[in-house]
């Protein structure tokens, strides 16, 4: 991969730490700010909803800007947003700072996906997307466990200060290695793009993304309470177990990218089926510590194996729409799933069958995603076979 793809990976790493590290700090934040764990969980939903709103709006607003300028501007927002999180005096201020930070997320990955695919050969484009998203997986292997440990040792604010410095480093790397646009992009016809995005195949693709990731985050949002109160691990064990989750993310993401380059539709369906199976069996595995650790890794692998296939599938369905906008909408769909999952998980814990039942309830959501994908394929009159993606436009 070109160095520019790894620069995009560095930006993805910083954003990934910000999005995911709060899962390991819910208990510390809830105690420090005097709110319930469920309310602290809404900080994840608020971030995700900020991505949903910010991704299409910022992508449309910056469509005529040089893509490198857009990426640097977004990383600047990200850096200042994390500093605001570290300084937040109360729950409301922290929520506002999280939402501000989230505005950078969707457009960064949307524009970054287009830039990454423009830098490699046609048969490597799903792998280029997977390489950029590896920044998220490395964030989970290194950044999230370290941030969780740092927050538990020095207070959760120390974690956000550390992520602020990650943003500064990512800005420098992007400036050095992402090439300037050869030609200034033309401003998009956003009305026409939105009309094209409203086609049924695109909407079904976005719905598949939402449902697939809602199941993941219904469980991952509350992974610390699950490991401590259901499996019986000590608080100190949470960070090392998150390393296993991160390792699973790397394996699933890279494997999913390679398979999606060759067999897009089978990879999509197979990864969703694997996710349903892992979540369902995890209900039993959580009651045995060794199996719980294994299934945390399998959850990471099955979750991120879906990412390259879902991203490329929506790009394929968005023929005629601006590829940056289509990509950003799908990132928004991932995060709408995150918000929905965190909210549903809270309902299951507080008003439903309880924490121990969370995983089997969550398994029903990607099962619905699998059904939507099968319906979409049936409506197209195609069978699950190797598919060639329609690749994004180039700078």
Q: Which pLDDT tens digit goes with each residue over 259-316?
A: 887 788 888 889 899 999 999 999 899 999 999 999 999 998 988 888 888 877 777 7
What the block records as the tokens of 55 is 């991704």
Count CB-CB contacts under 10 A for residue 210: 24
Decide which of 109 and 99 is more confident: 99
Intra-chain end-to-end CA distance of the chain, in Å: 17
The structural architecture, per CATH, of the domain 3-380 is: Up-down Bundle (1.20)
Collect all residues with Cβ–Cβ distance below 8 Å to 107 and sequence separation of at least 6: 54, 55, 58, 59, 62, 70, 74, 328, 331
pTM score? 0.70
Distance between CA atoms of 42 and 49, rounded to whole angstroms? 10
Q: How far apart are alpha carbons 258 and 393 in whole angstroms?
A: 21
**Pick from 129, 136, 115, 16: which is nearest to 59 by CA?**
115
Q: In this predicted model, which residue has the larger pLDDT, 259 or 136?
A: 259
Alpha helices (H) in 221-322, listed in sequence order? 223-225, 238-262, 264-285, 289-317
Indicate the Cα dihedral angle 245, 334, 4, 57, nearest 10°. Answer: -150
- Burial of 200 (C-beta count, 10 Å sphere; 0-12/13-18/19+): exposed
Residue with the larger pLDDT of the pair 93 and 18:
93
Query: Which of residues 266 and 321 earns the better pLDDT score?
Result: 266
Q: How far apart are CA 205 and CA 310, in angstroms?
A: 8
What is the predicted pLDDT for the residue at 365? 92
Between residues 185 and 56, which one has the greater pLDDT?
Answer: 56
Residue 15: both structure tokens together: 């954003």
- Residues 231 and 24: their CA atoms lie apart, in Å, by 16
State how far the Cα of 302 lies from the Cα of 199, in Å rounded to an integer. Answer: 29
pLDDT score, position 294: 93
Measured distance CA(370)–CA(277) in Å, rounded? 12
Alpha-carbon distance of 135 to 141, in angstroms, equals 10
Separation of alpha carbons 154 and 148, rounded Å: 10
Residue 320 has pLDDT above 60, yes or no: no
- Higher per-residue pLDDT: 276 or 63: 276
CA distances from 194 to 1, 199, 380, 392 (A): 32, 9, 21, 16
CA distance 145 to 341: 22
**Using CA atoms, how far apart are residues 171 and 7, in angstroms rounded to an integer?**
9
Does pLDDT of 171 surpass 80?
Answer: yes
Rounded CA separation 334/275 (Å): 15
All structural domains of the chain with their residue ranges: 3-380
Note the pLDDT of residue 371: 92
């Amino acid at each position: 991969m070109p160095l520019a793809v790894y620069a995009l990976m560095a930006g993805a790493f910083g954003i990934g730490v910000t999005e995911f590290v709060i899962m390991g700090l819910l208990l510390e934040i809830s105690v420090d700010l005097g709110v319930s764990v469920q309310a602290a969980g809404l900080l994840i939903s608020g971030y995700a909803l900020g991505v949903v709103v910010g991704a299409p709006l910022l992508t449309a607003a910056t469509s005529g800007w040089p893509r490198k300028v857009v990426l640097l501007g977004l990383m600047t927002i990200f850096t200042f947003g994390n500093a605001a999180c570290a300084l937040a005096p109360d729950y409301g201020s922290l929520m506002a700072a999280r939402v501000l930070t989230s505005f950078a997320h969707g457009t960064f990955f949307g524009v970054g996906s287009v830039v990454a695919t423009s830098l490699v050969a046609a048969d490597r484009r799903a792998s280029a997307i997977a390489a950029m998203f590896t920044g998220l997986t490395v964030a989970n292997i290194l950044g999230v466990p370290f941030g969780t440990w740092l927050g538990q040792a020095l207070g959760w604010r120390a974690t956000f200060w550390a992520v602020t410095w990650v943003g500064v480093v990512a800005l420098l790397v992007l400036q050095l290695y992402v090439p300037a646009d050869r030609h200034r992009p033309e401003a998009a016809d956003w009305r026409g793009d939105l009309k094209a995005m409203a086609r049924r195949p695109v909407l079904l693709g976005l719905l598949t993304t939402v449902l697939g990731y809602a199941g993941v985050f219904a469980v991952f949002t509350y992974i610390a309470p699950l490991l401590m109160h259901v499996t019986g691990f000590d608080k100190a064990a949470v960070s090392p177990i998150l390393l296993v989750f991160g390792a699973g993310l790397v394996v699933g993401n890279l494997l999913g990218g390679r398979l999606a380059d060759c067999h897009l539709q089978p990879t999509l369906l197979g990864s969703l089926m694997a996710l349903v199976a892992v979540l369902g069996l995890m209900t039993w595995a959580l009651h045995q510590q060794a199996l719980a650790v294994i299934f945390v890794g399998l959850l990471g692998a099955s979750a991120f194996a879906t990412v390259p296939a879902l991203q490329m599938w929506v790009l394929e369905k968005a023929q005629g729409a601006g590829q940056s906008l289509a990509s950003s909408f799908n990132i928004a769909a991932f995060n709408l799933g995150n918000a929905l999952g965190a909210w549903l998980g809270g309902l299951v814990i507080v008003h439903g069958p309880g924490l121990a039942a969370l995983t089997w309830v969550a398994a029903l959501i990607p099962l619905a995603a699998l059904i939507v994908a099968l319906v979409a394929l049936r409506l197209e009159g195609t069978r699950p076979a190797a598919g060639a993606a329609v690749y994004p436009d180039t700078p």
